[in-house]
Amino acid sequence: MAEEEVANIEELLKTNTRLSEQIKSLTQHNEELLETIRELEKDISDLHKKVKANGEKQSVKKKGITVMYISFTGFKGIQEGESTANLYDLLDEIYIRFDEIAHKHKLERIKAIGDDYVVAGGITEKRSTNPIDICLAALEIRDYLKTLQKDTDHDGKAFWNLHIGIHSGNGMVEEVKSRKKKALFNLSGEVINTAPRIAAMAHPGDIFISDYTYEIVKGYFTCEYSGDLPVKYRGNLQLYQLKRIKRIYSVDRKKGLNPNRDFILKYHLKEFNDIEEKVIDFLIKHLPDHLHYHDYTHTIDVVNQAELIGYGEGVSDEQILLLKTAALFHDTGHTIESNGHEEHSCTIAREWLTEYNYTEEQIDEICSIIMATKMPPDPQNLLQCIMCDSDLDYLGRTDFIPTSNALYKELEAIGVMNDINEWNKLQVKFLSAHQFYTATSRRLREVNKQSQIERIEKLIKKD
């Protein structure tokens, strides 16, 4: 046999040995992952049985949940090192810090047992931004662990490897109240079953996200396609590696961990729909029945008109956000008292918007816009002018008559008005004296407002 053939055979044998070792390693890793999944399923099953026995289960199907599954590996290497005890002492500290980061980003912890840590967004309330929140948390957690390793004496020695998998989908949420009255959450379904499989695909220190999550967050973060994950009944799930916040949206352009003002604005504009849905639901439940004009439909109308007039006046995206938010909250004070409701609206806005991470400066501006609607209106800047025109936009629209009738019915219910003829006279007087403040409203509404005056004058009965 020629020497070249012998060399080729030896090389093939070496390659075969190396591939066999890799397959063995992958098989062992998959077996460990399957065991982890079995333990997770067992924990969920056991908790399900306990809750059912206690009769305290509240199971609700939730859409739009995002799960972050964190798996620690490298325990064997740690056990062989000299600082095993010290490293394991750090585990509690690590989980405490993870909990702080999760709380900061409005996430709920699902599990933290051994080397598994699971949090989810969209559990307690609907939040369309929860995939963004989880990605921010994942980047912060990874950076924290890297910093922790550098700050300890384990540089170059065995340390935990972090594998993070993120997936968005649907699941069943069970809330369990413990004796300490602290809510615990049990999550089952496709979203929690898929996340650990995604984590298993991630290389040490990497964050892998599913294509479901990617489609929501791709405008905020830099991601790279990393491969496919076969999923039963679905085919392949495309996976992406989450790298960082996009440079244009990052304060620290080198690391991409901290969002800048543009990121936060983009985030708030997306989040606004969640706030709007929550406020409208609040108004439906708490506004007095006699408010036939100042009902939730009026609030929706003012929000839409504020955006329309705002863009017509050429204001910035941040100013549009402030206008729409002010419009959304401007009549919430009616749930407390109609007299002086503007002040009550500001109180409610401050309480709610602080929870949604609006800045103090933004909240002050929003409240000044709300207060500009107090009668008689006296707007001092463009945003206040836009708000006043939005609040009374119906004066120049074709639906003026039915809207005016709703206002009359409301005033009649509280004993302020009970003569339709006098009401029509008052309407003509008000319309004749009223002026729209913005060029956009004058262009869109002034002509029709004059025609409304003529229509009402024909309805007035002469004394």
- Domain ranges in the chain are 21-259, 266-459
Burial state string for 110-119 with b = 16 or more CB within 10 A and e = fewer than 16: bbbeebbbbb
Least confident among 63-77, 114-128, 372-386? 63-77
CA distances from 6 to 1, 17, 19, 400 (A): 7, 17, 20, 95
Q: To which H or E segment does residue 322 belong? A: helix 317-329
The amino acid sitting at 167 is: H
Whole-prediction pTM? 0.79
Half-sphere exposure of 157 (CA within 13 A, CB side): 16
Cα–Cα dist 303/386, whole Å: 11
Cα–Cα dist 277/273, whole Å: 6
Position 335 pLDDT exceeds 70 = yes
CA distances from 261 to 131, 248, 258, 273, 443 (A): 19, 10, 10, 20, 34
Class of CATH domain 21-259 = alpha beta
- pLDDT (tens digit, 9 = 90+) per residue, 250-280? 998 788 999 999 999 999 999 999 999 999 9
Q: Is 434 left (phi over 0), alpha (psi -120 to 50) or beta?
A: beta
**CATH number 1.10.3210.10 given to 266-459:** yes
- pLDDT (tens digit, 9 = 90+) per residue, 437-455? 999 999 999 888 888 888 8
